Amino acid sequence: MDKFVPDKPVAPPEEVASALANMTPADMVRLGSFARVRTIGIPEADWQDLLHEAIQRALSGARKWPTDISFLQFMRGAIRSVAHEWRTKSSANSNWPVRVSLSPLDADIVDDMANPEAEVAAREGIAAVQALFEGDAEALGILEGLAIGLTPAEIQESYGMNIKQYATAQKRIRRNLAKAIDKGLR
């Protein structure tokens, strides 16, 4: 269930429905791209299902829209929340956790239960992502930092980035991954 802070004013379901109806095609494309990136790492997830689930939760009132943020921000938060929930359920149901390092020199995969197909797919995925961001040290730094569990502040400190450089690199990562996913990432 989504977290809700009761002291913030929220939009009623009718206002959510109206905001959805008034979204531009460009807004829907943006949300679709955001959902595509958020399904990475969730094997059984489809970005359209993720987007539809977030919309359904918004319309049903299961996910409340605080009126102090834009509707697009709210929907991105709903997508992020559903993706996190699905990712948590997926990893809890998985019988072979795979941990990946994105270090260019050490693309190491640790598979607790030998599964050669999964290992090959993971290695190919890592190589594709590394090739996609070849020459973009900031993007690779962020991806590597996230893979080893660093916080954004730790990544910024480790790779000598300020907040703006970090945010800009994150946008490049999202944009390039969305394009690559549309093309098949290989």
Q: pLDDT tens track of the chain, all 186 residues?
A: 455 555 778 989 899 999 999 999 888 888 888 888 888 777 778 889 999 999 999 999 899 999 889 999 999 999 989 988 888 887 666 543 444 444 443 444 444 434 566 666 677 777 888 888 988 989 988 988 887 777 888 888 888 899 999 999 999 998 888 888 777 654
Per the CB < 8 A criterion, the answer to whether 176 and 184 are in contact is no
Q: What is the DSSP letter of 103?
A: B
Q: What is the pLDDT of residue 116?
A: 61
Per the CB < 8 A criterion, the answer to whether 79 and 31 are in contact is yes
Q: What is the pLDDT of residue 97?
A: 43
Distances, alpha carbon 132 to alpha carbons 64, 80, 128, 172, 174, in Å: 37, 24, 6, 11, 12
Alpha-carbon distance of 71 to 136, in angstroms, equals: 32
Q: What is the DSSP letter of 22?
A: T
Alpha-carbon distance of 31 to 51, in angstroms, equals: 7
Q: What is the pLDDT of residue 86?
A: 87
Q: What is the pLDDT of residue 105?
A: 37
- 80: alpha, beta or left? (left if phi > 0; alpha if psi -120 to 50): alpha
Phi, psi for residue 77 in degrees, rounded to 5: -65, -40
Domain ranges of the chain: 13-93, 98-183
Position 36, amino acid: R
Say if pTM beats, i.e. exceeds, 0.85: no
Name the 3-class secondary structure at 61: coil
